[in-house]
Amino acid sequence: MPRLTARERRDRYQREYAFQKRHGKSFFPHAVFHDTIVSLIVVGIIMGMSVLWWAQFEPVPMEPGVERAGGILGPAYEGRADPGVEAYDPKPEWYFFFLFELLRIFKTPELLLVGSVIIPTIWMVLLIGWPFIDRNPDRRLSRRPIALAVGVCVPIVLLTLTFYGSKAPGAGGAASDAPGAAAFAGGACSTCHTFADAGTAGNVGPNLTEGAVNYETAYDLIANGKGGMPAFSGTYSEDEMKCLAGYVATHSGAPAGEEGPEAATAAEVYPAACETAGGLFAGGGAAAAGD
Ligand code: HEC
Tell me, yes or no, whether 69 and 121 share the same domain.
no
Average pLDDT, the chain: 82
Tell me, yes or no, whether 109 and 162 share the same domain.
yes
Tell me, yes or no, whether 151 and 228 share the same domain.
no
Q: Tell whether 18 is covered by a domain.
A: no
Tell me, yes or no, whether 239 and 284 share the same domain.
yes
Q: Tell whether 121 is covered by a domain.
A: yes
Reported pTM: 0.50
Q: Which atom of ligand 1 is nearest to the CA of 218?
A: 29
> pLDDT tens, 49-86?
888 887 776 665 555 555 555 666 766 666 666 666 55
CA of 230 to the centre of ligand 1 (A): 8
Q: Tell whether 47 is covered by a domain.
A: yes
Q: Tell whether 229 is covered by a domain.
A: yes
Most confident of 50-54, 65-69, 123-127, 201-205: 123-127
Tell me, yes or no, whether 79 and 102 share the same domain.
no
Q: Which atom of ligand 1 is nearest to the CA of 228?
A: 12
Tell me, yes or no, whether 191 and 283 share the same domain.
yes
Q: Tell whether 132 is covered by a domain.
A: yes
Tell me, yes or no, whether 98 and 138 share the same domain.
yes
Among 120, 143, 167, the domain-final residue is 167
> pLDDT tens, 133-164?
888 888 888 888 888 998 999 999 999 999 98
Ligand 1 near 282 CB (within 6 A): no
Q: Tell whether 13 is covered by a domain.
A: no
Residue 62: predicted pLDDT: 57
Tell me, yes or no, whether 195 and 270 share the same domain.
yes
- What are the residues whose beta carbons fall under 8 Å from the beta carbon of 171, sequence distance 6 or more? 89, 90, 91, 100
Q: Which helix (H) or strand (E) holds 201?
A: strand 200-201
Ligand 1 near 224 CB (within 6 A): no
By the 8 A CB rule, do 61 and 79 touch?
A: yes
CA of 103 to the centre of ligand 1 (A): 24
Ligand 1 near 241 CB (within 6 A): no
- State which residues form the domain around 272: 181-290
The full DSSP string for 126-150 is: HHHHHHHH-------GGG-HHHHHH
Ligand 1 near 244 CB (within 6 A): yes
Closest CA to 176 of 75, 84, 255, 82: 255
Tell me, yes or no, whether 73 and 106 share the same domain.
no
Tell me, yes or no, whether 196 and 268 share the same domain.
yes
Domain count, the chain: 3
Q: Which atom of ligand 1 is nearest to the CA of 249?
A: 29
Tell me, yes or no, whether 252 and 284 share the same domain.
yes
Q: How long, in residues, is the chain?
A: 291
Q: Tell whether 134 is covered by a domain.
A: yes
> pLDDT tens, 240-282?
899 999 999 999 998 887 888 998 898 888 888 888 877 546 4
- Coil, helix or strand at residue 278: coil
Among 167, 198, 213, the domain-final residue is 167
Tell me, yes or no, whether 190 and 252 share the same domain.
yes
Closest CA to 170 of 84, 106, 101, 120: 101
Instruction: Name the DSSP letter for residue 33.
Output: H
Neighbour count for residue 286 (Cβ, 10 Å): 17
Among 53, 84, 115, the domain-final residue is 84
Ligand 1 near 222 CB (within 6 A): yes
Q: Tell whether 29 is covered by a domain.
A: no
Ligand 1 near 221 CB (within 6 A): yes
Tell me, rounded to whole angstroms, the distance of Cα 165 from its chain centroid: 4
Ligand 1 near 189 CB (within 6 A): yes
Q: Which atom of ligand 1 is nearest to the CA of 212?
A: 26
Pocket test for ligand 1, best of 189, 193, 203, 208 (most atoms within 8 A of CB): 193
Ligand 1 near 283 CB (within 6 A): no
